[in-house]
Amino acid sequence: MRAEAVKSSKQAADPIEQHFYEVIQLIGENPEREGLQETPKRIAKMYREVFGGLQEDPEEVLGKTFPAEGASDIVIVQDIPFYSMCEHHFVPFFGKVHIGYIPDGRIVGLSKFARLVDILARRPQVQERMTNQIVEALNNVVCPIGAIAVVEAEHLCMSMRGIKKPGSRTRTIARGGVFKTDLVQEERFFRLLEKE
Residues annotated catalytic, as ranges: 86-89, 127, 155, 157
CA distance 14 to 11: 8
- DSSP code of 52? G
Confidence at residue 12, expressed as pLDDT on a 0 to 100 scale: 52
* Average pLDDT of the segment spanning 152-177: 92
Q: How confident is the model at residue 2 (pLDDT cuts 50, 70, 90)?
A: very low
Per-residue pLDDT for 1 more than 50?
no
Q: How confident is the model at residue 11 (pLDDT cuts 50, 70, 90)?
A: low
* Average pLDDT of the segment spanning 28-43: 96
Q: pLDDT per residue over 50-109, tens digit each?
A: 999 999 999 999 989 999 988 889 999 999 999 999 999 999 999 999 999 999 999 999
- DSSP code of 53? G
**Which CATH number is correct for 2-50, 3.30.70, 1.10.3470, 1.10.286, 1.10.8?**
1.10.286
Contact between residue 42 and residue 27 where contact means Cβ atoms under 8 Å apart: no
Tell me the one-letter amino acid at 168.
S
- What would you report as the CA-atom Rg of the chain, rounded to the nearest whole angstrom? 21
* Average pLDDT of the segment spanning 144-168: 92
Is 143 marked as a binding-site residue?
A: no
Domain ranges of the chain: 2-50, 65-194
Confidence at residue 167, expressed as pLDDT on a 0 to 100 scale: 87
Architecture of the domain whose range is 65-194: 2-Layer Sandwich (3.30)
Per-residue pLDDT for 190 more than 80?
yes
